Amino acid sequence: MSSKKVGMVSVGLTRFNRRSKETPKELAYYSSKMALDEAGITRKDLDGVIIGSAPDAFDGVHQKHEYLTDGSGGFNKPTMRGYVGGGTGVFSPIQGWYSVASGVHDVVMVTTEEKMSSIQPSAQAGFLTIFDNLIERPLGPNLVWIFALEMKRYMETYGIPKEHIASVSVKNKGNAIDHPSAMLGKNFTLDEVLNSEILCDPVRLLDISPVADGAVSFVMMTEEKIKEFGISKDDVAWVDGVGWNVDTTMWTNRDLSYPKYVEKAAKQAYNMAGQKDHSPEVLRKWLSFAEPYDPFNYKELHHLEGLQLFAKGEAPKAAFDGVTARDGDFPVTPSGGLLGVGNPIAAAAGMKSAELYLQLTGKAGKRQLSGDVTRGLAQAWGDLMQVGTVLILKGGRVD
């Protein structure tokens, strides 16, 4: 493939809050401005802007990308919105990559934003609109239903104990203590997670990430521009691989124990990065860490298997045994994830993509992984359990 080399040179994040005073546009401004300042460039240096945001129903503002344009630095510039539900926060930097790799733009701002506190009395009413309108909505579903149904099928297929799944909540909410944007960083015990309020068996309250308001931005540019702006290679993370894939909305015709669409997205990204061996042991050596999507604790495990990072049914025990702890053999979600930092949908996976940059450039503060951090993978998932998006970044001095 002939395409330009693309580097991420900065990130910007807001605090993630259950309820923010700022409007969505003001949140987008905070993260976009921070990303520009960190990169040492200004709005006039941007050739294009990519905006990622999930269902308009949460904000009650239609065509949210047009509303968010000026807050994202896009006033009088080419802008576009990508939207694949929860998968958006990884898909938006992918769009940033192809805007630059294709030669269309040299420098882009990517801003992901979500404000979920506006819809009343809860975000659940907005989620109802994703279900099939003809034969599912008349049954009065709740978003948690489909997660509970998928989690139950996953546990049944591989004989997974709930303790193994609950350990992911303990790990991620604990990791989030060290994330400055986090809303739920806390050391919970396994028993607190296992005995939290039952919502839809087997899903309990602490199995779920908290809904939030927040924004995350990135600046991405060509190698030539990186040189021109005098940005050090130590402050760059290169896009190494990208992949995305989508299944149908007929989720009741799908194997719920294994996310095939994530496998396809991951293999696309590995192959693009030149990594043709997809066996778990090899991939876990090739990558320094991973940030798979964790809106629910079991999803982190389900996704690790789809990503080929663990064999089918084997991620839960590895998590329980500490393999995926921040100081484990293969760190997973050192950021604290959606479970701990919070889940402002598009910005949540944006935060995971940002964690790749921060870890690879040694800027992750107390969360910084020890040893050589050379390559990381972020993955997100969304719509009606059907989208997989994968981004692989490598360090600025890695060939």
Partner 1 sequence: MDVRGKRLTLDEFMNTELSVKHYPEMEYNWATGVAITKFLKGLKNGKILGTYCNDCDRTVCPPRMFCEECFNPMNHYVKLPDTGVINTFSLAFIRTDATRREKAEIPAVIDIDGTSISPSGFLHLIDEDVSHDKIKIGMKVKAVWKDEKDRIGDITDIKFFELLEDD
Helix H or strand E encompassing 240? strand 237-246
CB of 195 to partner 1, least distance (A): 15
Query: To 5 degrees, how large is the angle CA 168–CA 367–CA 338?
Result: 40
Measured from the CB atom, the residue of 121 and 274 that comes closer to partner 1 is 121
Nearest distance in Å: CB 4, partner 1 = 29
Q: Give the separation between CA 330 and CA 340, rounded to whole angstroms.
A: 19
Nearest residue (CB) to partner 1, 44 versus 62? 62
241 forms beta bridges with 392
User: Measured from the CB atom, is 103 or 138 closer to partner 1?
Assistant: 138
Max Cα–Cα distance, the chain, nearest Å: 58
| Backbone phi and psi for residue 343, each to the nearest 5 degrees, phi listed first | -125, 70
* Cβ-based nearer residue to partner 1, 170 or 385: 385
Interface with partner 1 (CB under 8 A):
13-22, 27, 30, 34, 60, 117, 121-122, 124-125, 128, 133-136, 138-142, 144-145, 148-150, 152-153, 156, 180-181, 183, 198-203, 213-214, 248, 250, 252-256, 363, 365
Backbone dihedral angles phi then psi of residue 357, each to the nearest 5 degrees: -60, -50
- Between 102 and 133, whose beta carbon lies closer to partner 1? 133
Cβ distance to partner 1 smaller for residue 14 or 324:
14
In DSSP terms, 219 is beta-bridged to 10, 109
- Least Å distance, CB 14 to partner 1, is 4
Quick one: which of 111, 94, 112 has its CA closest to 36? 111
Residue 144 CB, shortest distance to partner 1, in Å, is 6
Least Cβ distance, residue 9 to partner 1 (angstroms): 16
Closer to partner 1 by CB, 47 or 56: give it.
56
CA angle 262, 152, 91 (to 5 degrees): 25
| AA identity, residue 348 | A
Q: Report strand pairing: 375-382 vs 289-291.
A: parallel
CB of 1 to partner 1, least distance (A): 27
Residue 169 near residue 327, CB atoms below 8 Å: no
Least CB distance to partner 1 at residue 388 (A): 17
